[in-house]
Amino acid sequence: MDGFCPMGPSITTRDEVPDPQSLFIRCHLNGECVQDSSTRNMLHSVADIIAYASHYMTLEPGDLIATGTPAGVGAFRQPPRWLRPGDRLRLEVERLGVLEHGIG
């Protein structure tokens, strides 16, 4: 689906992120902050997710594991809020960078 699960702006290596459980995560929708959290709040740590996944599949350098998103998205907002054509998203993960894209 166009606009779904964008990746970037880059992929980094473990040595560039000393503590993956200590990164701020923010998402702005059309300039409004709709998500503001930290990887400290993940239900499962990055290390635990990698250990679990590696029991069921071979992980190779460069593989990506999608872990979900902080509270504040679509169906879980009151009232629900859905992305529409023309919306602009700005996603930021501390130390990793900013990804901006539009919904077509």
Cα first-last separation, the chain: 10
Position 30 in a domain: yes
Range of the domain at 27: 14-102
Q: How many beta carbons lie within 10 A of that of residue 27, not counting itself? A: 20
* CA separation for the pair 87, 21 (Å, rounded): 30
Query: CA 94 to CA 38: how far, in whole Å?
Result: 9
Task: Single out the residue of 69, 90, 74 nearest to residue 27, CA to CA.
Answer: 90
Q: Cα separation of 43 and 4, whole Å?
A: 23
**Rounded to the nearest 5 degrees, what angle is found at the Cα of 46, between the Cα atoms of 29 and 97?**
40
CATH of the domain at 71: 3.90.850.10
Tell me if 66 is assigned to some domain: yes
- Say which DSSP state 86 is in: T
**pLDDT, one tens digit for every residue, the chain (104 residues):** 566 777 777 778 888 888 999 999 999 999 999 999 999 999 999 999 999 999 999 999 888 898 888 887 788 888 888 989 999 999 999 988 899 988 88
Does residue 31 belong to any structural domain of this protein? yes
For residue 39, tell me if it sits in a domain: yes
Q: Does residue 6 sit within a domain? A: no
User: What is the count of structural domains for the chain?
Assistant: 1
Query: Is residue 85 one of the residues assigned to a domain?
Result: yes
